[in-house]
A and B are shown apart, each in its own frame.
Chain A
Amino acid sequence: MILPLFPIWLIDFAGSSLMIIFSFLCVHLAMRLFNQDRENAVWIYFLWITSALAVFAISRGVGHVVKDLLIMSGRKDIWTILQPYSGAFNTMTFVLVASITLFFERVWQINQTILRDKQALQDSHGQILYLNRHLEDLVMERTRELRKSENKYRRIFESSRDMILVTDQDGQILEINPAGTDLLGFSKEKVENNACSFKHFFLRQEIWDRIVEELLAKGYVSDLETELIGPEGNVIHVLLSGSVECLLPDNGDTFDVVQTTDHHDVKEFFHFLVKDITRRRAMEQQLLQADKLASIGQLAAGVAHEINNPLNIILGYTQFLIKHESEGTDRYEDLRTIEKHVRACKNIVADLLSFSRSTRTRKQQIDLHECIKEVINVISQQFELDQVRISTEFDSRVPTMILDGGKIKQVFMNLFMNAKHAIGKDGLITVKTLYDQDAGQVEVRVEDTGCGIEPQNLSRIFDPFFTTKETGKGTGLGLSVSYGIIKEHGGEIKVESEPGKGSVFIVSLPVNQ
């Protein structure tokens, strides 16, 4: 078989030329890629490998073309000399290309690491740039948020109906809200001048010491009921809760009291929330009193009913015996004595029934002022003998009211008699009326300049059979009966008293009864 070599030569020549041309075009492209991003390791790698390929293409292409030309021109001897050099160089060049190719994986990894780091740097740079550009806005926004938050808590602080205050460990008031200054009765300026100590407002100083001790030990005090001294020296019942804030003086960091063992030079501040429960306590007392009197009233009503029937029988039989007995005899006199004491017993029973509101009430339209005046007219003469004067301050707006006149008169009679007894000789009883249109009630105040009532007796004053009078001078039912009557009319009766200065009985009656 004979095969022409011309096609092989032609392909050799054309192929070698194309290899050289394309290898240089590849170098050119790799160079452009490299120029696009000189830090990209893959582009550098392509530059290496295309350069090696170009050298290989020249070596191989030139070798082939020179060989063909030398053989064609009959100078095979020259080619015989050049052939080993050409072959060796050619071998070296494609070993170089192959070797560089094997570095691809490592170059790729390096490039990926560089890209990751670059991305991280760009992100950080972007964040820094953003912060730089928007720092002012960010600060303003944060300030706005802080101001908003501060306003919110300031509003709570300022508008709280309970006292909120901050003190140091010695009780020096550092911050106090308006409710606090109102409750304790001093000005904000006094606080600003550091002239107020919270501990001096405690009725009992040992309570403050106990609070401080507990705050430092536990970090809080909750719902402690105690008494403070009010602006006019009055006792204010309060419910107190507190907590501790510890502050490092050097950096202003705050932390919990439990952590303070690790820190020196810390300053403790106490935060207090104080609720005024004076009114609540008074109401509780009243409720307790009302509850107690209601129980006694039920008991009294039961006893009175049981005693009333035998007393009626005793009285009936006594009167029957009197009727058949001649006047002037010893037996007649004895029967009269029995009758008198049975009637006294019946009066007590009637009073008890009245206190327990078991007797019938006949209400009608009456003028309260007229009612009071009638009572005063009855007793004034007797009172004047002992230089006890009665003055009246009637509110002309008081309307006519639906009341049981007889029972109301009995109430005022009791109150005036008690006032007279408290005064003894030479004093003044003032009767004031006040119409509260909004509340729809009339208040009658009976004030005396008597000896007053001891605090320990105040809670028992309306109890049946409780009396401070000597034995035989009072049954102790007067105020109990009055209490029962006023309750029956839907009203209230209260007493305020200061020993040595006098007492005030306040009767409140509803108008639309």
Chain B
Amino acid sequence: MLGFNILKLLSYLFLVLFLMQPDVAHATQAHSYPEGLYVHQLAHFFFILSMATFIYWLRERGLSRDKGWRLLQYCALCFILWNADAMLAHYLESQEGLFVTREQTTLDAVLIASGGHTAETLIYYFAKMDHLFCVPGIIFLYAALRCFLAKARGDRVK
């Protein structure tokens, strides 16, 4: 029942976000360049919501007291952080005039901040290292599954 309500809520959210852009409010429309980025960003947002919902369910049912489910909860948290980081990186990437890239075709490629955008460039630089969040996330998932497998074996032996 709760799952159904969440899906319904997300559907309404998408609809509201869509209607909030009056310049694309046509019966049929051409898919211009920024639309792909918006869709991608919204997908990240959807991923964050689903992971947050997942954590909420785990905690509501008291499953997080169990080691396997607790690891799964950490996995979901890592993916939330990864999505937030990715959204930030995509956003900064889409901004004009924050930084430029030189020597892109060599291993000596560098990122040069435009005047007055040092902080944004620095944030973008570290946000680009998003694997630092998603790799621990999947490792937590792996550990959780190992834990479930060990428990399932133990139950079977009993």
A8-B129, A19-B134, A102-B3 known; A87 vs B40 contact (CB < 8 Å):
yes
Q: Residue among A4, A22, A84, A103 with the most chain B CB within 10 A?
A: A22
In the bound complex, residues from chain B placing their C-beta under 8 Å from that of A71 are 104-105
Name B136-150 residues within 8 Å CB distance of A: 138-139, 141-142, 145-146, 148-149
In the bound complex, residues from chain A placing their C-beta under 8 Å from that of B156 are 36
Q: Which of B105, B134, B148 lies in contact with A73, CB distance below 8 A?
A: B105
Q: Chain B: which residue is nearest A21 at the CB level?
A: B138
Query: In the complex, A30 Cα to B47 Cα: how many Å?
Result: 21
Interface: A46 (CB within 8 A): yes
Query: In the complex, A1 Cα to B138 Cα: how many Å?
Result: 34
Interface: A402 (CB within 8 A): no
Inter-chain contact A102/B131, CB cutoff 8 Å: no
User: Which segment, of A91-99, A169-177, A339-347, faces chain B?
Assistant: A91-99
Q: Which of B57, B101, B128, B145 lies in contact with A105, CB distance below 8 A?
A: B57
Interface: B53 (CB within 8 A): yes
Query: In the complex, A87 Cα to B4 Cα: how many Å?
Result: 29
Q: How far is the CB of B152 from chain A (nearest CB, A)?
A: 5
Inter-chain contact A26/B138, CB cutoff 8 Å: yes
Inter-chain contact A95/B47, CB cutoff 8 Å: yes
Q: How far is the CB of A445 from chain B (nearest CB, A)?
A: 91
Interface: B12 (CB within 8 A): no
Interface: A369 (CB within 8 A): no
Inter-chain contact B50/A1, CB cutoff 8 Å: no
Q: Chain B: which residue is nearest A97 at the CB level?
A: B47
In the bound complex, residues from chain A placing their C-beta under 8 Å from that of B141 are 22, 26, 50, 53
Task: Determine the interface band of chain B, counting residues with CB < 8 A from chain A.
Answer: 35 or more
Query: In the complex, A341 Cα to B57 Cα: how many Å?
Result: 128
Name B7-52 residues within 8 Å CB distance of A: 7, 36, 39-40, 43-44, 46-47, 49-51
Query: In the complex, A53 Cα to B121 Cα: how many Å?
Result: 30
Inter-chain contact B142/A22, CB cutoff 8 Å: yes
Interface: B106 (CB within 8 A): yes
Q: Chain B: which residue is nearest A16 at the CB level?
A: B131
Inter-chain contact A29/B51, CB cutoff 8 Å: no
Inter-chain contact B105/A72, CB cutoff 8 Å: yes
Query: In the complex, A32 Cα to B40 Cα: how many Å?
Result: 33
In the bound complex, residues from chain B placing their C-beta under 8 Å from that of A23 are 138
Interface: A439 (CB within 8 A): no
Name A26-40 residues within 8 Å CB distance of B: 26, 29-30, 32-33, 36-37
What 1/0 flags go to A1-28 for Cβ under 8 Å of B? Answer: 1111111110110111011001101100
Q: How far is the CB of B56 from chain A (nearest CB, A)?
A: 9
Q: How far is the CB of B12 from chain A (nearest CB, A)?
A: 15
Query: In the complex, A61 Cα to B110 Cα: how many Å?
Result: 22
Q: How many residues of A contact B (CB 8 A)?
A: 53
Inter-chain contact A101/B40, CB cutoff 8 Å: no
Query: In the complex, A103 Cα to B40 Cα: how many Å?
Result: 22
Name A154-177 residues within 8 Å CB distance of B: none
Inter-chain contact A74/B128, CB cutoff 8 Å: no
In the bound complex, residues from chain B placing their C-beta under 8 Å from that of A14 are 131
Query: In the complex, A76 Cα to B54 Cα: how many Å?
Result: 39
Q: Which of B43, B49, B57 lies in contact with A108, CB distance below 8 A?
A: B57
Query: In the complex, A74 Cα to B107 Cα: how many Å?
Result: 12
Inter-chain contact B125/A33, CB cutoff 8 Å: no
Interface: A208 (CB within 8 A): no
In the bound complex, residues from chain B placing their C-beta under 8 Å from that of A465 are none
Query: In the complex, A407 Cα to B7 Cα: how many Å?
Result: 123
Q: Chain A: which residue is nearest B117 at the CB level?
A: A1
Q: How far is the CB of B33 from chain A (nearest CB, A)?
A: 9
Inter-chain contact B40/A104, CB cutoff 8 Å: no
In the bound complex, residues from chain B placing their C-beta under 8 Å from that of A5 are 101, 104, 109-111
Q: Which of B6, B106, B145 lies in contact with A46, CB distance below 8 A?
A: B145
Q: How far is the CB of A116 from chain B (nearest CB, A)?
A: 15
In the bound complex, residues from chain B placing their C-beta under 8 Å from that of A103 are 3
Q: Chain A: which residue is nearest B139 at the CB level?
A: A22
What 1/0 flags go to B108-141 for Cβ under 8 Å of A? Answer: 1111110000100110010011111011001101
In the bound complex, residues from chain A placing their C-beta under 8 Å from that of B50 are 98-99, 101-102
What 1/0 flags go to B47-85 for Cβ under 8 Å of A? Answer: 101110110010001000000000000001000000000
Inter-chain contact A29/B7, CB cutoff 8 Å: no
In the bound complex, residues from chain A placing their C-beta under 8 Å from that of B153 are 36
Q: Which of B39, B101, B105 lies in contact with A91, CB distance below 8 A?
A: B39
Inter-chain contact A3/B132, CB cutoff 8 Å: no
Inter-chain contact B61/A108, CB cutoff 8 Å: yes
Query: In the complex, A26 Cα to B72 Cα: how many Å?
Result: 12
A-B contact pairs, 13 of them (CB 8 A): A1-B112, A1-B122, A6-B107, A9-B109, A12-B128, A22-B135, A22-B142, A23-B138, A26-B145, A33-B148, A74-B105, A94-B43, A105-B2
Assuming A8-B129, A98-B50, what are 8 further A-B pairs, CB within 8 angstroms? A3-B110, A15-B132, A22-B139, A22-B141, A26-B138, A91-B40, A103-B3, A105-B3
Closest 5 CB pairs of A and B: A15-B131, A98-B50, A29-B145, A5-B109, A98-B47
